[in-house]
Amino acid sequence: MIEIRKESREDYEEVYNLVKRAFETVEFSDGNEQDLVEALRSSCNFIPELSLVAIQNNKIVVYILFTKIKIGEYEELALAPLAVLPGYQNKGIGKKLIEKGHQIAKQLGYHFVIVLGSKNYYSKSGYVPAIKYGIRAPFEVHNENFMAVKLNDFDKEITGVVEYAKEFGI
């Protein structure tokens, strides 16, 4: 049985270690994802309701964070990171956290979430190349790896270059 809930302060150390372990063997990682999470938690772009954990057998096995970004003049979201402990990957738990995050983000009124990652993985959760919406990365990247999902309709067009939180260092 998997329990999904909002991260609490008591989870911070366990989440730090989970993120570090999850990214140790990832090909495209700078090894600092756990420090990015800590920096984002202290920023004005942090949304506590969108910092989620999945728990199995009293252990946090997956963590996801959505933070505020800007697309043009609009405040939207970035998914980063999604961290799954080795041994719990390919079990659908990460996808469940993405879906729960999208549900909360929709309720909060956000229209888009962007992610930089594997098209094979994130397309299963509805992500498509962000360029299809006129959303562009602030750095060089293959279109297939810079993706977006539309959560809510909006009467204005949301397009432009993404402005990440300064904590991302972009």
Q: What is the pLDDT of residue 170?
A: 84
CA 25 – CA 11 distance, rounded (Å): 23
Question: What fold characterizes domain 3-168?
Answer: Aminopeptidase (3.40.630)
Q: Would you write out the chain's pLDDT as a tens digit for each of its 170 residues?
A: 899 999 999 999 999 999 999 998 776 667 789 999 999 999 999 999 999 999 999 999 999 999 999 999 999 999 999 999 999 999 999 999 999 999 999 999 999 999 999 999 999 999 999 999 999 999 999 999 999 999 998 888 999 999 999 999 88
* Residue 119 phi, psi (nearest 5): -65, -35
Domain boundaries, the chain: 3-168
